[in-house]
Amino acid sequence: MKILGIETSCDECAASVVEDGKHVLSNIVATQIELHKMYNGVVPEIASRLHTEWIRSVVKEATTESGIDLSVIDGIAVTSRPGLVGSLLVGLSFAKGLALAINKPYIGVNHIMAHLYAPYLEHDISYPYLGVLVSGGHTIISRVTGFNEMEVLGTTIDDACGEAFDKVAKFYDLGYPGGIAIDRLSNEGDPKSFNFPNPSLHKGDHRYDVSYSGLKTAVVNQLDQFRNGNSEKTKANIAASFQRAAVSILMKRVKLALKDTGLKRLVAGGGVVANSLLRSELLDLENVETIIPSMALCTDNAAMIAGLGFHYLEKGIASEYSLNASARVPSFRKKYP
């Protein structure tokens, strides 16, 4: 089955054709980064307007590059949740219109599950595994037992990991997008020049939860308090020390979850998994098979949407035309006992 994937949940306008949930025939990502740069963050109104202007040519480019005519597409998969509603609606409405026009089924998929699906496009993976999703909007440690089955073990109690990267970068004017800028700048700094806090949430229901607002406050408002001796307050030193702390907060919970669940396989996804330090720490985990996507499949793309969508469509599961976009997914909250 050849599935056309469409992704417009945030600031990437993307389309892709994937065969049988595995073979990526095209993967077009038109990024809006340059147009949000002057605001140091994604402006929702601008994002949705640009998606409206770009979507048609992005989809056309994806089909042309795949060599597959729309008439032989078997179905369409589109991100319907979570994300910026105005942006999601552009992709979703386009997908519905196209599905009607070519008389093929379409399925609205969950962006987060799609991030965890991305590594399947490059590797053969079997369930269950510890799913680690780290993006700009989510930080989730989970037990994944199927393409649409995920039990959330831990999540952030405040900011998402990527959000902390973006906020710190914005405050110190380190560059945009924040995550990549901090990653690059960290290479020039000493990660031990500041000893930022790693909050303890180890008790009861919060065993695998993370918190990033304390780290953000420390880096932004209490820098001197955490300075190691006479370390210089350079941007590179701040970036490197922040990155070390941000990755350590996550890795501590990941290690705990691996130990407690006994899971021997870890699959990670989401934009922050493009981070060089996080990648090397995940790959260095002992006695665990770690599978992470290549850089291009970490950040938002439509190949992961088409790949995941295939598993619904091949089972005859399709969405109704009444499906709406949702900014949030309530099931990403933990199930408390």
Q: Which residues bind ligand KG4 (CB under 6 A)?
A: 10, 115, 135-137, 162, 165-166, 177-180, 183, 270-272, 274-275, 299-300
Nearest CB to ligand KG4, comparing residues 73 and 245:
245
Nearest CB to ligand KG4, comparing residues 110 and 135:
135
Nearest CB to Zn ion, comparing residues 116 and 240:
116
Least distance between ligand KG4 and beta carbon 184 (Å): 8
How many CA atoms, within 13 angstroms, populate the side-chain half-sphere of residue 329? 18
Amino acid occupying residue 281 = E
Q: Which of 7, 11, 209, 300 binds Zn ion (CB under 5 A)?
A: 300
Give 11's DSSP letter. S
- The binder of 189, among Zn ion, ligand KG4, none, by C-beta within 5 to 8 A per type, is none
Q: Which of 8, 80, 135, 211 binds Zn ion (CB under 5 A)?
A: 135
Element (H, E) at 129: strand 129-134
Determine the 3-state secondary structure of 293 from DSSP.
coil
The structure tokens 């990033």 sit at 212
Q: Which residues contact 230 (CB under 8 A, 6 or more apart)?
A: none
CA 251, CA 241: separation in Å to the nearest integer?
15
Phi, psi at 39, each rounded to 5°: -100, -5
DSSP-assigned beta bridge partners for residue 268: 132
Least distance between Zn ion and beta carbon 245 (Å): 23
Nearest CB to ligand KG4, comparing residues 243 and 319:
243
Least distance between ligand KG4 and beta carbon 291 (Å): 17
Nearest CB to ligand KG4, comparing residues 209 and 300:
300
Q: Hey, how many other C-beta atoms are within 10 angstroms of the C-beta on 202?
A: 12
Least distance between ligand KG4 and beta carbon 4 (Å): 20
Give me the residues that bind Zn ion (CB under 5 A), please. Answer: 135, 300
